[in-house]
Amino acid sequence: MRASLQLSEAGLRVAVLSKVFPTRSHTVAAQGGIGASLGNMAADNWHWHMYDTIKGSDWLGDQDAIEYMCKMAPQVVYELEHFGMPFDRNPDGTIYQRPFGGHMANFGETPVQRACAAADRTGHAMLHTLYQRNVRANTQFFVEWMALDLVRDAEGDVVGVVAYEMETGAVMILHAKATVLATGGAGRIFAASTNAFINTGDGLGMAARAGIPLEDLEFWQFHPTGVAGAGVLITEGVRGEGGILLNSAGERFMERYAPNAKDLASRDVVSRAMDQEIKEGRGCGPEKDHVLLKLDHLGPDVILKRLPSIREIAIKFANVDPIKEPIPVVPTIHYQMGGVPTNVHGQVVAPKAGNPNSVVEGLYAVGECACVSVHGANRLGTNSLLDLLVFGRACGNFIVDQNLRARGQRSLPADAGDLSRSRLARIDGATSGESVPEVAQQLRRVMTHHCGVYRNQQLLGEGVAKVMEIEQRVARMSITDKSRVFNTARVEALELDNLIEVAKATVVSAEARQESRGAQARSDYPERDDANWLKHTLWYRDGNRLDYKPVNLKPLSVDAFPPKARSY
């Protein structure tokens, strides 16, 4: 919606397709904040933010894109405030900023308050504000339309999408001069996930089927604090406000793993520490399968003012009132660092004729579905909302500058709708076969078991084999419901086609990468290996093939941050 806003305000004809009403997209569930070096609480600057992001990424992030994002951050936050975003405020009337994991001043020295927050509902406030601003700009929404496949012409240019209207079951082609994927992540390939049901990687599936590679899909962020058993997110802002993690001995164990940043170390670091505590028998509860997030010492005032939704979630999903008791938490799948490869304008890029970043004309991607790559091997908390603001805006502006009005419309190829039609025919034609919910559940189990916090060759090798078996089952799936009107069984079958592509990309890329970096922790290769693996993975659906491309270590204007050891 940040991209569509630029397009609508420039007077272009925009159609925003969304599987759900726009304020129901998963951005709504983001809690903690938006990272931007406003310096409202203490001195801060974008260069420090840039360093934190690169260090957080374990040096896999592209430094040009990271510089651009961190430099633009204050401006996009101010714009959002001007749009009406209800940020919390300081006594002087400026935007309130809270501490967050990995946010440091002076190139990693001491914590700094950088996360611009609206209580613990920042994503909700932001998504509604962006929708509201799009209403003002008369953006046209196609609500409850699911995009099925990209349409590429003979030159490989993208000229639109095939889409499915849920209410009627109609399949339509939307012919467009520019197509922007903003379809979010695919966290639903895992069983324990903070993600919404709709996060099925539809844009990634579409890209993969259209022959476009997927980048760095082995990197999946475990959020340290998902409610044990339920998976619902508890924001890092809890630890930002002073909450701490405890093991069964009541020990604040993060002091051992990250003596400086402690509970506010990077998410991959905290998640691994929790996993290790649990594996070594210091987990809590009868099954010793979780740790505790203690925040009662913050007092009811802070909890009710800054973390009201967290209290609601804890009461509803964990039966505890955090004003009195700690919340049981476990590392839970949260964010996909990889995605459809793009440049800083949001243009989708793929290797062609020796150029690793050749532009796929007509196609753009922004947000979690894209890999620009600002998150590298591990995303810094609050950089996801920032990513979609900065690159949504940049992508919109870039498209406006293309002066599309003056350009003719490329014609649709004769076979434009064939792939989607054949997928639907397969699903509707099968009178018996595999049950969609069962196959999806099996996929999530396999991914959770074989692609967890710690991975190794044996787990990943078996994982690849099992996922490939599940792919055969996906090919045989069938649904009972054959009706046209709001057939949610058919939608879930179409989503499973996308989930399986992301799962294959993930497990195949993870098996190949023989090192530990950011969110990919290999117990058989415990060290980062810059000599061999300081490079981006590219997975192609065709033949399950892998390719690699270099990381951009050259920022736009400042000196590069060369890789070094990473400690918090």
Partner 1 sequence: MKFRIYRYNPEQDAAPHYQDYDVALEPTDRMLLDALMRLRQQDDTLSFRKSCREGVCGSDAMNINGKNGLACITNLNDVKEPVELRPLPGLPVIRDLIVDMSQFFKQYHSIKPYLVNDTPAPEKERLQSPEDREELDGLYECILCACCSTACPSFWWNPDKFVGPAGLLAAYRFIADSRDLSTSARLDNLEDPYRLFRCHSIMNCVDVCPKNLNPTKAIGKIKDIMVKRAV
The per-residue DSSP string of 97-131 comes to: EEEEEEEEETTTTEEEEEEE-STT-HHHHHHHHHH
From candidates 15, 78, 298, 358, binder to partner 1 by CB under 8 A = 78
Report which of 453, 242, 510 is spatially closest to residue 334, judged by C-alpha positions: 453
Binding mask 104-123 for partner 1 (x = CB under 8 A): --------------x--x--
From candidates 13, 106, 110, 197, binder to partner 1 by CB under 8 A = 197
Distance CA 509, CA 513 (A): 6
267 noted as active-site residue: yes
Rule CB under 8 A: say whether 436 interacts with partner 1: yes
Burial of 230 (0-12, 13-18, 19+ CB in 10 A): middle
DSSP 265: S
Rule CB under 8 A: say whether 92 interacts with partner 1: yes
Q: Which helix (H) or strand (E) segment is 374 a member of? A: none
Selected range binding partner 1 among 3-11, 50-58, 261-269, 309-317, rule: CB under 8 A: 309-317
Distance CA 367, CA 340 (A): 10
Binding mask 450-479 for partner 1 (x = CB under 8 A): -----------------------------x
Provide the sign of the torsion angle of the four alpha carbons 270, 272, 275, 281, taken in this order: negative
The per-residue DSSP string of 154-184 comes to: TTS-EEEEEEEETTTTEEEEEE-S-EEE---
Tell me which of 209, 267, 272, 455 is the catalytic residue: 267
Selected range binding partner 1 among 194-202, 280-288, 292-300, 543-551, rule: CB under 8 A: 194-202
Site for partner 1 in 490-509 (CB under 8 A): 492
- Residue closer to partner 1 by CB (options 442, 456) is 442
- Residue closer to partner 1 by CB (options 266, 478) is 478
- Residue closer to partner 1 by CB (options 322, 346) is 322
Rule CB under 8 A: say whether 233 interacts with partner 1: yes
Rule CB under 8 A: say whether 437 interacts with partner 1: yes
Query: How many helices and strands (H and E) does the chain possess?
Result: 16, 24
Rule CB under 8 A: say whether 171 interacts with partner 1: no
Provide the sign of the torsion angle of the four alpha carbons 261, 267, 270, 273, taken in this order: negative
Binding mask 381-420 for partner 1 (x = CB under 8 A): ----------------------------------------
Burial of 313 (0-12, 13-18, 19+ CB in 10 A): buried
What is the number of other CB atoms lying within 10 angstroms of the CB of residue 253?
Answer: 22
Site for partner 1 in 513-532 (CB under 8 A): none
Distance CA 73, CA 216 (A): 24
Least gap, CB of 556 to partner 1 (angstroms): 22
Site for partner 1 in 312-351 (CB under 8 A): 312-313, 316-317
3-class state of residue 190 by DSSP:
coil
Site for partner 1 in 135-164 (CB under 8 A): 135-136
Omega within 30 of 0 (cis) for the link into 432: no
Contact call for residues 339 and 214 (beta carbons, < 8 A): yes
Beta strands at 220-227 and 327-336: parallel, antiparallel or unpaired: antiparallel
Binding mask 474-493 for partner 1 (x = CB under 8 A): -----xxx-xxxxxxx--x-
- Residue closer to partner 1 by CB (options 42, 560) is 42
Rule CB under 8 A: say whether 28 interacts with partner 1: yes
Contact call for residues 270 and 254 (beta carbons, < 8 A): yes
Tokens standing for residue 463: 């994982």
- Residue closer to partner 1 by CB (options 18, 247) is 18
Residues recognised as catalytic: 267
Residue numbers of the site for partner 1 (CB under 8 A)? 20-21, 23-26, 28-29, 38, 74, 77-78, 81-84, 86-95, 118, 121, 124-125, 128, 132-133, 135-136, 167, 196-198, 229-230, 232-233, 309, 312-313, 316-317, 435-438, 479-481, 483-489, 492
